[in-house]
Structure 1
């Protein structure tokens, strides 16, 4: 099977199994999504969704968040891990959004990546999920599956992102990235599949 054929089969099966791709992180607007994605670093979405209701009840806008003492933010988000760094970033970016962006989340990758605690992946998630801009955020599930499915031999997520962007249609990036994540979590977990056991792996490499 050629790489092109694998891509077509992957898209077909993912569309069958995951026709709907709800955003896993609970949020109400670009700001709360930005905070939720920031908190999800080295933390599960499930845990983030348990923590954010209390945080957003306390502050759900840059203006409100900028008024919350950093130590209070830290106490609320402690279950997510890396609380000191994340609290500092949340406090800092809230103030920057007010000072430089009129209290709005910027809509470019470059501006997002200038915010404290916001790396390329976080910025990409916000771009595609908050603003509908084409982006292909690569997390550990996607990076692993891209290698298992022989779509990329990238040694880092940056190279994997470039490879996947070349293989999948631009208009599908936002949906496909979530489908990869859902498949990795539900059907092809790292400890449960060696590239030969799960349904799609078998179909891809049995031919």
Structure 2
């Protein structure tokens, strides 16, 4: 199964590609719209600032490709910043419009009794443990690095949370669209098994 990893100039493409390859799938890094839409699944990684990422996606036309992929029910996974980009808007360095594939906003941690950025291993709590993404899995720890977090408008889109001074959105999903705020490829066995379960959805 061919998995397109979106190259828009902002993302840890190599580590994600290696993880996909280890799981027995065929990753390819591309900025080509037709290649993405022909793939069995799409991964949108992301490292950096929300506004810069959306500017890159818009200038390359890949914002429209991501929306079309979702409309075609192509399995799509956003990782870290990539998950945040799926939502309506972010307040990072001013207000920026997102892909608006999922309704919701991205806001900064308020800080206080906890450090910002949120960096380290935190335990997942499955909001919908019966979801296919969690097949055969038990709750455990994954690795986060972020200063902003997502507030989904629809509770039904929330698949898992973690606690960091407050409940924090960790995994979202609706239809064929998924997001993981943490880095599954850097999150040990649980992260790799979550990535595997997403990739398995591309087989169906």
TM-score per shorter chain, which class? under 0.3
Which structure's residues are more often strand, by fraction?
Answer: 2
**Which structure has greater helix proportion?**
1
TM-score normalised by structure 2 residue count: 0.27
Q: Which has the larger radius of gyration?
A: 1
